[in-house]
Amino acid sequence: MSAVIDDDHSHGDDHAHGPAKGLMRWVLTTNHKDIGTMYLWFSFIMFLLGGSFAMVIRAELFQPGLQIVEPAFFNQMTTMHGLIMVFGAVMPAFVGLANWMIPLMIGAPDMALPRMNNFSFWLLPAAFLLLVSTLFSPGGGPNFGWTFYAPLSTTYAPASVTFFIFAIHLMGISSIMGAINVIATILNLRAPGMTLMKMPLFVWTWLITAFLLIAVMPVLAGVVTMMLMDIHFGTSFFSAAGGGDPVLFQHVFWFFGHPEVYIMILPAFGAVSSIIPAFSRKPLFGYTSMVYATGAIAFLSFIVWAHHMFVVGIPVVGELFFMYATMLIAVPTGVKVFNWVSTMWEGALTFETPMLFAIAFVILFTIGGFSGLMLAIAPADFQYHDTYFVVAHFHYVLVPGAIFGIFASAYYWLPKWTGHMYDETLGKLHFWLSFVGMNLAFFPMHFVGLAGMPRRIPDYNLQFADFNMVSSIGAFMFGATQIFFLFIVIKTIRGGVPAPAKPWDGAEGLEWSVPSPAPYHTFQTPPEVK
Amino acid sequence: MNGLPLKRLVRRLLLLTVVMFAFGFALVPIYDVMCRAFGINGKTGGQYEGSQVSDPTRTVRVQFMSTNASDMVWDFYSTADQIEVNPGAVNQMVFVAHNPTDKPMSAQAIPSITPAEAAAYFHKTECFCFTQQVLQPGERIEMPVRFIVDRDLPGSVRHLTLAYTLFDITARHPPVAQVATEGVQRAR
Ligand code: HEM
Ligand SMILES: [Cu+2]
């Protein structure tokens, strides 16, 4: 603890009154707010890039037949869209929120490891430059899906796969360092009196997420390392000819992959658990059960991975085990939904933009949970697997789940970050356009999926034409709306009604005790927590 | 204020990272053991050393399949499509492989049993899949597999399939190197 404070002082003196000037401020910064800001902007750029790839996909699928892009390029688009959204948009957005808010929420002066914080951010632009540059290489970029199943990603991969592997390694190192930093901050830098069970849920969910990251990112690094060895060093981890097994790839990948989907949702759970009480003007219902439910979800997420592999030929007992274990996750998830609804129950609700996104989060995420339950029924999954129904499921949990959670957080804390209120009318417009666009885009996918339309294919049967056109229109609407969000954020940064320290009358937490915009250095002396 | 000093905490978290990286690799042998134990994927074991007494009261139909992996050009087939066997008895089936190209090539056959839960009850006492095959241009060989269906095979299984997939591994194991040691190979 004392080491940290010394560290902070030793290089904090020269700019104790504010940030350094110019570009080097951003390159060399160790300030949690600067780094949080950079993470958030990086994530938004990746969101637009991954989103533009999705627009290519939806343009091709606007009508049946092959019109706009070559199938080979279509495959690169689906792959890159998934990789960029997961590793470039959603994960860095949450790390950005963690950087900004965790120190403010627990009364810490900064993150525990400020220099490592800088390094873990700057690895990301390098990783994604590497990844995106493969699109311009001979043979094209990764085309094997974001799940990169062997042997598609080994024996049959384009030459650029080696760069893909290296990019994943860099992202993994960045995430692990970020997670270590979060854990160290939460465990070591809490203000006196801030006991674990007084921490806001965002801090709790991030603590658990960080442990999930440390547990599974190394396994992801391991699986890409095995690919690298198969491709270049003649091993046969995933090659049947040499005694390996491609199904092994799927087991190792999903051992990472399922906890990964919770890494993308738990911090959103936490943020929403602050926002709903604020606009219901009631304390969160069932705080303790929320903490335990999060822990239970994290634990269960390690024993359900094979629900992604029901059709590879696992024994019946295995199918049953993974089916019931998966369904069990619905219990703690249901506890959370119940608590959010109970928090709103008989509250004095107002519907500012963060609350709109939070309420949509609860409703639409629940729809995604239900389609997840349908997919968890092993015999039914034989029909649904690899169809658009799965695409509908995970977009319902990720777009109104993770992404709406991030939007809600952004509007909720923008006054603290910028010192200005965002324009409420524009915010609401952003919400409604996103809400309608997103449902138009993804709801019809349930229907075409149940009717058997396969995913990741650039062409489809005529019978699916109408629903696909609706999906594409919704997707274009959702996509364009996010440019509008960019406009709203820039407008808020540049001006607007000055925000008071606590712009939301029902909000709770230490972050509202510092002025808006939050000064460059906060909580140099720890606050007193009663 | 609380808990471990920062350095010690970070060291522990780094250790956890390393352990989980190693765990990823440990999943490889764990998977193999699980597959053997539960017959996942129809994986069969290595050479069977035991012997059993034939059970004449029961017959099981064994079907044979031979498939070429992509890019493999050999002719590869079994000399019969199926046979009826008694559990416990030693049976033999001969497979034929022919290299129609004008280059020496090496190949590896990978077996699998369907239904997968029968895999643990299917014992090979001799199999061409235990070694690699090297065929000269135009060469044709007969390759036996000898096997025992275990007497403990669950009663619900009356019919099982032994499928081989033949992989071209010429690039990985160049046949030229093996031609020099061919005498040894054949003698084995
Ligand atoms: C009640 C909770 C949930 C259940 C029961 C559930 C169940 C499932 C099942 C069974 C599949 C495999 C479908 C198939 O491939 O045939 C699946 C796929 C998927 N789920 Fe969920 N899920 C749940 C929540 C979530 C959450 C919270 C997220 C992310 C935030 C998520 C993200 C995904 C993704 C990304 C895939 C597809 C992966 C791919 O193949 O590309 N799920 N889910
Ligand atoms: Cu899953």
Per-residue pLDDT of chain A (530 residues; tens, 9 = 90+): 333 444 444 444 444 557 878 888 899 999 999 999 999 999 999 999 999 999 999 999 999 999 999 999 999 999 999 999 999 999 999 999 999 999 999 999 999 999 999 999 999 999 999 999 999 999 999 999 999 999 999 999 999 999 999 999 999 999 999 999 999 999 999 999 999 999 999 999 999 999 999 999 999 999 999 999 999 998 999 988 777 889 999 999 999 999 999 999 999 999 999 999 999 999 999 999 999 999 999 999 999 999 999 999 888 888 999 999 999 999 999 999 999 999 999 999 999 999 999 999 999 999 999 999 999 999 999 999 999 999 999 999 999 999 999 999 999 999 999 999 999 999 999 999 999 999 999 999 999 999 999 999 999 999 999 999 999 999 999 999 999 999 999 999 999 999 999 999 999 999 999 999 999 999 999 998 87
* Per-residue pLDDT, B3: 63
Q: How many CB atoms lie within 10 A of CB B187?
A: 6
Q: Which residues pair with B93 in a beta bridge?
A: B145
State if residue A182 touches ligand 1 by the CB under 6 angstroms criterion.
no
In CATH, the number for domain A29-512 is 1.20.210.10
Superfamily of structural domain B60-187: Ctag/Cox11 (2.60.370.10)
H or E segment and range at residue A251: helix A246-263
Q: Which residue of B has its CA nearest to A234?
A: B172
Q: How many CB atoms lie within 10 A of CB A28?
A: 14
Q: Does B68 touch chain A (CB under 8 A)?
A: no
Is the pLDDT assigned to residue B186 strictly greater than 70?
no
Q: Does A234 touch chain B (CB under 8 A)?
A: yes
CB A397 within 8 A of CB A265: yes
Distance (Å, whole) CA A522 – CA A375: 47
Distance (Å, whole) CA A488 – CA A225: 42
* Per-residue pLDDT, A189: 94
In terms of Cα–Cα distance, which of A438, A412, A373 is closest to A499?
A412
Q: How many CB atoms lie within 10 A of CB A21?
A: 8
Residues of B with Cβ-Cβ distance to A192 under 8 angstroms: 1
Residues of A with Cβ-Cβ distance to B30 under 8 angstroms: none
Residue B174's pLDDT band (boundaries 50, 70, 90)?
A: confident
Is the pLDDT assigned to residue B178 strictly greater than 70?
no
Q: What is the largest distance, in Å, between two alpha-carbon atoms of chain B?
A: 79
Residue minimizing CA distance to atom 21 of ligand 1: A372
Pocket test for ligand 1, best of A94, A212, A258, A261 (most atoms within 8 A of CB): A261
Indicate yes or no: CB of B117 within 8 angstroms of CB of A242. Answer: no
Q: How many CB atoms lie within 10 A of CB A492?
A: 24
What average pLDDT does this structure show over B14-40?
A: 89
Residue ranges covered by each domain of chain B: 1-38, 60-187
Ligand 2 centre and the CA of A258: distance in Å? 4
Task: Tell me the C-alpha to C-alpha distance, in Å, between residue A177 and each of A63, A120, A435.
Answer: 45, 6, 35
Residue ranges covered by each domain of chain A: 29-512
State if residue A144 touches ligand 1 by the CB under 6 angstroms criterion.
no
Query: Could you give phi then psi for residue B90, rounded to 5 degrees?
Result: -90, 130
Which of A427-436, B44-53, B150-159 has maximum average pLDDT? A427-436
Q: pTM for the complete prediction?
A: 0.90
Of A190, A252, A313, the CB nearest to B1: A190
Residue B170's pLDDT band (boundaries 50, 70, 90)?
A: confident
In terms of Cα–Cα distance, which of A94, A315, A189, A256 is closest to B39?
A315
B96 or A8, which is more confident: B96
Q: Which residues pair with B140 in a beta bridge?
A: B98
In this structure, the strands spanning B60-68 and B159-168 are parallel
Q: Does B171 touch chain A (CB under 8 A)?
A: no
Indicate yes or no: CB of B9 within 8 angstroms of CB of A188. Answer: yes
Q: Does B41 touch chain A (CB under 8 A)?
A: yes
* Per-residue pLDDT, A23: 84
Classify residue A307 by its DSSP letter.
G
A323 or B45, which is more confident: A323
Question: What is the ipTM for the molecules in this complex?
Answer: 0.90
Q: Does B69 touch chain A (CB under 8 A)?
A: yes
Ligand 1 centre and the CA of B36: distance in Å? 29
Residue minimizing CA distance to atom 41 of ligand 1: A147
Chain A interface disruption, residue of B4, B20, B130, most A CBs within 10 A: B20
Indicate yes or no: CB of A240 within 8 angstroms of CB of B69. Answer: yes
